[in-house]
C-alpha cells in the first residue's frame, strides 16, 4: 500500500505541475495578446516597495478589521506551510522522514504548528463571516460564485487538518509521553494517537501525507482548469496586479488615464484609421485590464461600498469585472461587443456609475473599476454614439457655450455685481502682485446655490487681505463632465482651450507661483491632475485648504464662541477619495465653532451624493435616488445643518432635503466660516 500511495502522490504531482505550467503559459500568452500599456513599468523600486507594503501589511484588507486579520493568517499559511508539504513527500516513502537540518528544530516545528493553527482559525472565521454576511438580502457576496469559494475554504481546512494530524502522528510515533514545545499545539492529537501500534502509526502517516499531497495537487489542477477562478488565482496574481497599478502608492483615482491606442496616446488632431477608441470588444482590453479581471477574488468589497448597488441599480462593480473576465476568457469572437443589447454589460449598468471611486478605494487587489467603465463609455460615445439622451444636450452646451447648462458666457461675471467689495478680473497676463487666481468654475458662476459659495470665498479672501483675481468670461468648462462621460474628444478641446488661457495668464511666472484656488473638487481634479497629462501643471488649492491656512496664519479670525447648531459634514468623493483631502474642511469647521457629528459613512467611506461621473446631467430613473440615501443618513444624525465642500454635492444634497421636506439647511463650509468671522467682528 505504501508504494501505491507514494506512486499516486508523485504521479498526481507530476500531472498537476505540468498542467499548471502549460496553463500559466497560456494565460501569459493571453495577456501578451491584449492591448499594450507602457505606463505600468516606471519607478520599479517604488512599485516593488508598495506591493510588499500592501501585501504583507494587508493595508486594504484591514479596512475590514476582523476579515483582514483572518485573511492575513490564511495568506501567510499558504507559503509558510510549504515545508510541511515537502515533508509529506518524504513521509509517503518513509514515515520517519523530516526535513534536513530544521526538521526536528523546535523553532521550526513550533512555527509550523502555530501557523497551521492560526490558518485554521482564520479560515473558519472567514467561513463564518461569509455565512453571516449572506443573511442580508443585498450583500457583498451577492452574485459571487459560492461553489468555488466553498471549494477553496474546504481545501484550506483539509490541509490544516492534515498538518495537525501528521504532527500528532509524528509525536505518537516518537513515543512522546509529556507535553513539550515540539508538539505545543498538536499535543491533543499526540494523545489521541498514542494508543496506536507502530505499524498503524506508520500506515496512518503515509495515508494522511498522501491525502495532503492529493488535496494540494487537486487544487492546482482545478484552478489550472479555470482562469475565471479568481478566488484562487488571486493568490498568485495579486502581487503583480498591485505592482502594476496606475498610481504607484495610491488607488487608481484622481485623474483618468490617457486614452491609449496600441500603447500610445490617441492624437485627436490626426487619429490613425486603425486607432482603438476606448474599450468596446475583448481585443480592446489592455493586458493590465485582463490582469485586473483575472485577479478579482469576488469578495464584493467594491460592491459593499457602491452607491449604485445600494440604491437598487443594475451596476455592481464586482459583477461588472466578473462579466468582463468571463467574456474575455470565453470563446466568443474577438470583435464581439462587451456593452449593449445581448452583451455581457448593459447600457444601464455602464451609465449607472457616478465615478465616486468607492470600489477602487476598497479593492484589496487594486482593480481599476472606474478606468474600465470610462474606457467603455469612451467607446460608446466616440464609436457607437450610444449614450443617455440627456448627455446629448450637455455635450452641445459644452461645445457651444463652454458650460454644461448652456448659460450665456457673458453671465460668468454676474456674481461679481452682487459683491459689495472689489473683485479683480484679469484680461491678460496676471499681475505679479496677484497671489492666487480664483478659478470660479461653471457651477460657481451660474448655479444660484454654488454662487453663494463663490461669493463667500471671495469675501473671505478679501477680508484676509489676499490679493486674488478671476478670469471672468475667459473661463470655460474644464472638461470634467465630458471626460467622465466618455467624450474624450470634447474634453481635449476644452482642456486645450483652458491650458492656452492659463499659459497666457501666468506668462513667465515660475512654476511655484502658479497658484490656483477652486471651490469645485471636480475642477480641482481635472485642472490639477488631468491637465498634467498634457504637460501642464499648476499649484492647486481647494478653498477649504486655503481658508484653513488663513485661519492658522491668523489672517481670518472666526468667533471664539461655539455654534448653537448641530452640524454634520458630507465628504465629497472628488475631494476625499480622489484627492485624500479630509482634514482641512473639518479643521475649518472646528475653528468656526462647530462640533461635527459624523455620519456613519464618512471620509474614505463617504457615500456619494450621486452627481459625479456626468450623472449630474442625467435622469436617475433606476432604483432609488442616491442623494436621498445620503440625505436620510444626514437627517438621522439629528443635525440642523449639513456642511459640504463641492457645488455638485451642494445641489444634490440640497435637492434631497427638499424632496424629504426637511428643514435641515445645506451650506458650504466657506459660508459657515464667513458667518463665524462676521460674528467675531
Q: Give tens-digit pLDDT for 607-626.
A: 999 999 999 999 999 999 99
First to last CA, the chain: 94
pLDDT above 80 for 648: yes
Query: What does pTM read for this prediction?
Result: 0.93
Q: Using CA atoms, how far apart are residues 141 and 144, in angstroms rounded to an integer?
A: 5
The grid coordinates listed for 248 are 504607484
Distance CA 255, CA 530 (A): 5
pLDDT exceeds cutoff 90 at 137 = no
- Block residue for cell numbers 470583435: 335
Q: Which residue has the higher pLDDT, 452 or 560?
A: 452
Core vs surface per residue 546-568: b (16+ CB within 10 A) or e: bbbbbbeeeebebbeeebeeebb
pLDDT tier at 177, thresholds 50, 70, 90: confident
b (16+ CB within 10 A) / e for 42-63:
eeeeebeebbeebbeebebbeb
- For 576, how many CA atoms within 13 A lie in the half-sphere containing its CB? 27
Task: Label residue 65 by pLDDT band (50, 70, 90).
Answer: confident
Cβ-in-10-Å burial (0-12, 13-18, 19+) of 531 comes to buried
Specify the pLDDT at position 64. 74
Sign of the CA dihedral running 124, 125, 126, 130: positive
Residue 138: what pLDDT? 83
Averaged pLDDT for residues 56-85: 89
> Which pLDDT belongs to residue 509?
57
Do residues 535 and 568 lie in contact, with contact meaning Cβ atoms separated by under 8 Å?
A: no
Contact of 627 with 655, CB cutoff 8 Å: yes
How confident is the model at residue 511, as a pLDDT? 52
- Grid look-up 460592491 returns 303
What pLDDT, on the 0 to 100 scale, is given for residue 512?
A: 56
Residue 536 has pLDDT above 90, yes or no: no
Mean pLDDT over all residues of the chain? 93
Q: CA-to-CA distance for 582 and 411, rounded, in angstroms?
A: 33
- Residue 403 pLDDT > 60: yes
The model's confidence at residue 563, banded by pLDDT at 50, 70 and 90, is confident
pLDDT digits (tens, 9 = 90+) for 270-296: 888 889 999 999 999 999 999 999 999
Confidence of residue 407 (pLDDT cuts 50, 70, 90): very high
Cell readout for 533 is: 497629462
Residues 411-420, mean pLDDT to the nearest whole number: 93
Mean pLDDT of 399-424: 93
Cα 490 from Cα 30, distance rounded (Å): 33
Nearest to 601 by CA among 298, 335, 361: 361
What CA–CA distance (Å, rounded) separates 671 from 32? Answer: 54
**Residue 73: is its pLDDT beyond 60?**
yes
**Distance in angstroms (rounded) separating the CA atoms of residues 474 and 496:** 13
What pLDDT does 61 receive?
Answer: 84
Q: State the Cα–Cα distance between residues 354 and 345, nearest whole angstrom.
A: 16
Beta sheet of 436-439, edge-to-edge order: 424-425, 468-470, 436-439, 515-518, 539-542
Distance CA 403, CA 497 (A): 13
Asked whether 62 and 69 are in contact (CB, 8 A), the reply is yes
Is the pLDDT at 437 greater than 80, yes or no? Answer: yes
Amino acid at each position: 500500500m505504501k508504494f501505491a500511495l507514494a506512486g499516486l502522490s508523485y504521479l498526481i504531482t507530476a500531472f498537476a505541475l505540468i498542467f499548471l505550467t502549460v496553463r500559466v503559459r497560456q494565460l501569459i500568452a493571453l495577456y501578451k495578446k491584449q492591448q499594450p500599456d507602457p505606463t505600468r513599468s516606471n519607478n520599479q523600486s517604488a512599485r516593488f516597495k508598495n506591493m510588499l507594503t500592501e501585501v504583507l501589511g494587508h493595508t486594504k484588507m484591514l479596512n475590514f478589521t476582523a476579515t483582514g486579520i483572518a485573511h492575513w493568517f490564511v495568506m501567510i499559511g499558504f507559503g509558510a506551510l510549504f515545508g510541511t508539504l515537502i515533508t509529506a513527500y518524504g513521509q509517503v516513502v518513509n514515515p520517519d522522514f523530516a526535513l534536513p537540518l530544521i526538521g526536528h528544530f523546535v523553532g521550526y516545528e513550533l512555527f509550523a504548528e502555530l501557523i497551521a493553527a492560526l490558518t485554521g482559525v482564520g479560515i473558519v472565521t472567514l467561513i463564518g463571516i461569509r455565512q453571516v454576511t449572506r443573511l442580508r438580502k443585498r450583500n457583498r457576496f451577492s452574485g459571487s460564485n459560492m461553489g468555488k469559494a466553498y471549494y477553496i475554504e474546504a481545501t484550506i481546512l483539509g490541509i490544516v487538518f492534515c498538518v495537525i494530524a501528521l504532527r500528532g502522528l509524528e509525536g505518537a510515533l516518537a513515543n512522546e509521553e509529556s507535553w513539550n514545545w515540539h508538539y505545543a499545539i498538536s499535543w491533543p492529537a499526540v494523545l489521541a494517537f498514542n494508543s496506536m501500534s507502530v505499524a498503524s502509526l506508520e500506515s496512518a502517516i503515509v495515508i494522511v501525507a498522501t491525502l495532503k499531497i492529493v488535496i494540494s495537487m487537486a487544487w492546482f489542477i482545478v484552478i489550472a482548469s479555470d482562469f475565471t477562478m479568481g478566488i484562487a488565482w488571486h493568490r498568485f496574481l495579486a502581487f503583480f496586479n498591485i505592482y502594476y497599478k496606475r498610481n504607484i502608492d495610491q488607488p487608481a483615482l484622481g485623474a483618468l488615464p490617457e486614452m491609449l491606442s496600441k500603447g500610445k496616446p490617441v492624437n485627436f488632431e490626426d487619429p490613425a484609421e486603425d486607432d482603438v477608441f476606448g474599450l468596446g470588444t475583448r481585443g480592446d482590453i489592455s493586458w493590465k485590464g485582463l490582469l485586473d479581471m483575472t485577479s478579482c477574488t469576488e469578495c464584493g468589497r467594491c460592491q459593499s461600498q457602491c452607491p449604485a448597488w445600494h440604491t437598487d441599480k443594475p451596476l455592481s462593480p464586482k459583477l461588472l469585472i466578473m462579466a468582463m473576465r468571463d467574456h474575455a476568457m470565453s470563446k466568443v469572437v474577438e470583435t464581439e461587443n462587451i456593452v449593449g443589447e445581448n452583451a455581457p454589460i448593459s447600457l444601464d449598468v455602464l451609465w449607472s456609475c457616478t465615478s465616486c471611486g468607492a470600489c477602487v478605494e476598497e479593492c484589496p487587489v487594486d482593480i481599476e473599476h472606474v478606468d474600465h467603465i470610462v474606457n467603455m463609455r469612451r467607446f460608446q460615445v466616440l464609436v457607437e454614439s450610444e449614450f443617455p439622451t440627456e448627455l446629448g444636450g450637455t455635450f452641445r452646451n459644452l461645445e457651444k457655450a463652454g458650460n454644461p447648462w448652456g448659460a450665456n458666457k457673458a453671465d460668468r461675471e454676474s456674481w461679481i455685481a452682487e459683491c459689495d467689495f472689489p473683485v479683480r478680473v484679469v484680461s491678460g497676463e496676471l499681475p505679479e502682485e496677484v497671489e492666487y487666481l480664483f478659478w470660479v468654475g461653471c457651477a460657481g458662476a451660474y448655479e444660484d446655490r454654488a454662487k453663494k459659495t463663490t461669493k463667500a470665498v471671495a469675501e473671505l479672501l478679501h477680508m484676509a487681505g489676499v490679493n486674488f483675481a478671476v478670469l471672468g468670461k475667459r473661463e470655460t468648462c474644464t472638461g470634467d463632465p465630458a471626460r467622465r462621460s466618455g467624450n474624450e474628444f470634447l474634453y481635449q478641446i476644452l482642456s486645450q482651450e483652458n491650458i492656452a488661457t492659463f499659459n497666457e495668464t501666468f506668462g513667465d511666472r515660475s512654476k511655484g507661483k502658479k497658484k490656483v484656488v477652486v471651490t469645485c473638487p471636480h475642477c480641482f481634479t481635472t485642472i490639477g491632475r488631468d491637465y498634467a497629462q498634457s504637460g501642464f501643471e499648476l499649484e492647486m488649492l481647494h478653498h477649504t485648504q486655503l481658508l484653513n491656512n488663513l485661519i492658522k496664519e491668523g489672517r481670518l479670525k472666526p468667533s471664539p464662541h461655539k455654534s448653537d447648531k448641530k452640524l454634520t459634514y458630507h465628504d465629497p468623493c472628488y475631494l476625499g477619495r480622489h484627492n485624500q483631502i479630509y482634514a482641512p474642511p473639518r479643521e475649518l469647521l472646528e475653528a468656526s465653532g462647530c462640533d461635527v457629528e459624523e455620519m456613519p459613512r464618512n471620509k474614505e467611506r463617504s457615500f456619494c451624493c450621486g452627481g459625479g461621473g456626468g450623472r449630474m446631467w442625467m435622469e436617475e430613473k433606476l432604483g432609488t435616488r442616491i442623494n436621498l440615501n445620503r440625505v436620510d443618513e444626514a437627517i438621522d444624525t439629528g443635525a440642523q445643518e449639513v456642511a459640504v465642500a463641492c457645488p455638485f454635492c451642494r445641489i444634490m444634497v440640497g435637492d434631497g432635503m427638499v424632496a424629504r421636506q426637511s428643514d435641515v439647511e445645506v451650506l458650504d463650509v466657506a459660508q459657515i466660516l464667513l458667518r463665524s468671522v462676521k460674528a467675531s467682528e
